[in-house]
Every structure is written in structure tokens, then in C-alpha cells.
């Protein structure tokens, strides 16, 4: 039997942030099914344990920590095994019209969507926790290029993340560490269901050529590709995945 599988993640240690729900949870489970050992990070211990229970057996680690707290971040990084992959999935959204934006609105979104992954990544690199030939994936968004009402701060945070990732890719290329972003369109997660009503979302869904929003598994499968040897010549890229609805956001 031909056992060739370029998407295998066997013998890889992969950190997934935001692993307690949504895309992060799906990524953790999918990568574990592909043979990886997963470090699950998030702030909600109970929900991280729920993710852990849905994963196949393996050398997985539940590592709750608030990345925005310096002592918590240091403790997380110090306890981390050497990593072959990092998937930055943690994120928040906040719908505020531009004329009503306050400093607290900016801080709420930017601290989680931009500051946290940048600070975590810096700490991982300075602590030499990233192996040569590793792959780093950021979950960005089509929102960085496709405007929608009240979504300015979120869009800006994801645009900043993409720009950062491109610089990071250049800096890490000498060590063959690849850095890429995934830019999903609308995906069925709490990120959208908490801020928009279902009728609005169902109506918008029909504007997509494939007549549906994304599922978390759709994004997880693309993450597997970027973490695997199958994408060994891909770095500094921002990959759109939107069911053909490139500019269709709500």
C-alpha cells in the first residue's frame, strides 16, 4: 500500500492559541488527527479541557495562560517544548462605528489580535523555542481588505497582523522557518454569532457563490497544509479562503 502523505504532521510539536473554541479548537483537533503533539493555549481552562477530550490520544499539553500578562507569558514559554509549528488563532471582534471609537475599544481589539501574537512570537524566538524548518501560521481575515460597517478596528488589527507576518517571514527565512497568514471570509464561529443576529448572517451567506459561510474545519484543513512539508516553498503569503465571496462581509 502506498503510504505517501505530504500532509502528515507526525513527530511535530505544534502550539495552538485560542484552542478553547472556534477555529483554534478545530485546528488543534485536526492537527492531532494528523499525528501532531499539540500544546493547547487559551484562557478558559474548562473549555481547553473540552478540546483536549475531543482529541485523539497523544503527547498533548493543556497550557492555559493569558498571553497579555507578562508573567503568565513567561511561564508558558518556559514550559514549552521545542516547536515545529505555531498557529496563532486567538482573536476578538468589536463592532463600533468609526465616529464612536474610543481608546478602550482600540485597546480591547488590538491587545488580543495584534499585541498578543507579536509578543508571544517574540518570546518564543528569543527563548529559542522554534525549531529550524518550522512553520508559523496566523489566522488573519478578509476584513483586512474588504470593509464592512463598524468593523474598522478589527479590520485594522488583521491588516497589521498581515504586515507583521510578512516582515517576520523575511527575518526567519535564513532558518527555513516559514510564516504565512490565512485570511478567511465569514466563518461560523462565536466571533460572528455574538455580534450579529442569525437572520442577518443567513441572508449574507446566500451572497457567497458557494451559498454558505465557512466551517471551522475548512480553515483547519488549510492550516494542516501550511504546517506540513507540502507547503515547504510557501512563506510570506496571505491566503484567502472565502468560498468565492472575496468582498462579501457583513
Average pLDDT over residues 179-184: 97
Q: Are 239 and 24 in contact (CB under 8 A)?
A: no
Residue 248 resides in a domain: no
Residue 246 resides in a domain: no
Q: Is the dihedral of CA 23, 242, 111, 93 positive or negative?
A: negative
Average pLDDT over residues 185-197: 83
150: left (phi over 0), alpha (psi -120 to 50) or beta: left
In the set 154, 164, 208, 225, the catalytic residue is 154
Residue 244 resides in a domain: no
Q: Tell me the residue range of the domain where 33 lies.
A: 13-239
**pLDDT reported for residue 7:** 96
pLDDT at 247 over 70: no
Average pLDDT over residues 220-225: 98
Average pLDDT over residues 153-171: 97
pLDDT at 214 over 70: yes
Residue 180 resides in a domain: yes
Please report which confidence band the pLDDT of residue 121 belongs to, taking 50, 70 and 90 as the band edges.
very high
Residue 28 resides in a domain: yes
Residue 85 resides in a domain: yes
- Which residue carries 483554534 as its cell? 24
- Between 201 and 98, where is the model more confident? 98
Annotation says 154 is catalytic: yes
Residue 4 resides in a domain: no
pTM flag (> 0.75): yes
Assign residue 56 the CATH number of its domain: 3.40.50.720
Exposure b/e, 132-158, CB count within 10 A at least 16 = b: eebbbbbbbbbbbbbebebbbbbbbbb
pLDDT at 131 over 90: yes
Q: Is the dihedral of CA 60, 64, 68, 72 positive or negative?
A: negative
Domain total in the chain: 1
Residue 178 resides in a domain: yes
Q: Give percent above pLDDT 70 in the chain.
A: 97
Average pLDDT over the chain, rounded to an integer: 94
**pLDDT reported for residue 250:** 57
Amino acid at each position: 500500500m502506498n503510504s505517501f502523505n505530504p500532509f502528515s504532521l507526525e513527530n511535530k510539536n505544534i502550539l495552538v492559541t485560542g484552542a478553547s473554541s472556534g477555529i483554534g479548537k478545530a485546528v488543534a483537533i485536526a492537527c492531532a488527527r494528523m499525528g501532531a503533539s499539540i500544546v493547547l493555549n487559551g484562557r478558559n481552562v474548562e473549555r481547553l479541557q473540552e478540546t483536549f477530550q475531543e482529541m485523539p490520544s497523544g503527547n498533548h499539553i493543556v497550557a492555559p495562560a493569558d498571553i497579555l500578562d507578562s508573567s503568565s507569558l513567561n511561564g508558558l514559554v518556559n514550559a514549552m517544548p521545542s516547536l515545529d509549528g505555531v498557529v496563532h488563532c486567538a482573536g476578538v471582534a468589536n463592532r463600533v462605528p468609526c465616529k464612536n471609537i474610543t481608546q478602550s475599544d482600540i485597546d480591547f481589539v488590538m491587545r488580543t489580535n495584534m499585541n498578543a501574537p507579536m509578543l508571544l512570537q517574540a518570546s518564543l524566538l528569543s527563548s529559542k523555542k522554534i525549531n529550524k524548518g518550522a512553520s508559523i501560521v496566523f489566522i488573519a481575515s478578509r476584513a483586512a481588505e474588504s470593509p464592512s460597517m463598524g468593523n474598522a478596528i478589527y479590520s485594522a488589527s488583521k491588516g497589521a497582523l498581515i504586515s507583521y507576518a510578512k516582515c517576520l517571514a523575511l527575518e526567519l527565512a535564513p532558518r527555513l522557518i516559514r510564516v504565512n497568514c490565512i485570511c478567511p471570509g465569514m466563518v461560523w464561529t462565536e466571533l460572528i454569532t455574538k455580534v450579529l443576529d442569525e437572520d442577518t448572517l443567513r441572508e449574507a451567506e446566500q451572497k457567497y457563490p458557494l451559498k454558505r459561510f465557512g466551517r471551522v474545519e475548512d480553515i483547519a484543513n488549510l492550516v494542516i497544509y501550511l504546517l506540513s512539508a507540502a507547503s515547504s516553498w510557501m512563506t510570506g503569503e496571505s491566503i484567502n479562503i472565502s468560498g468565492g465571496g472575496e468582498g462579501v462581509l457583513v
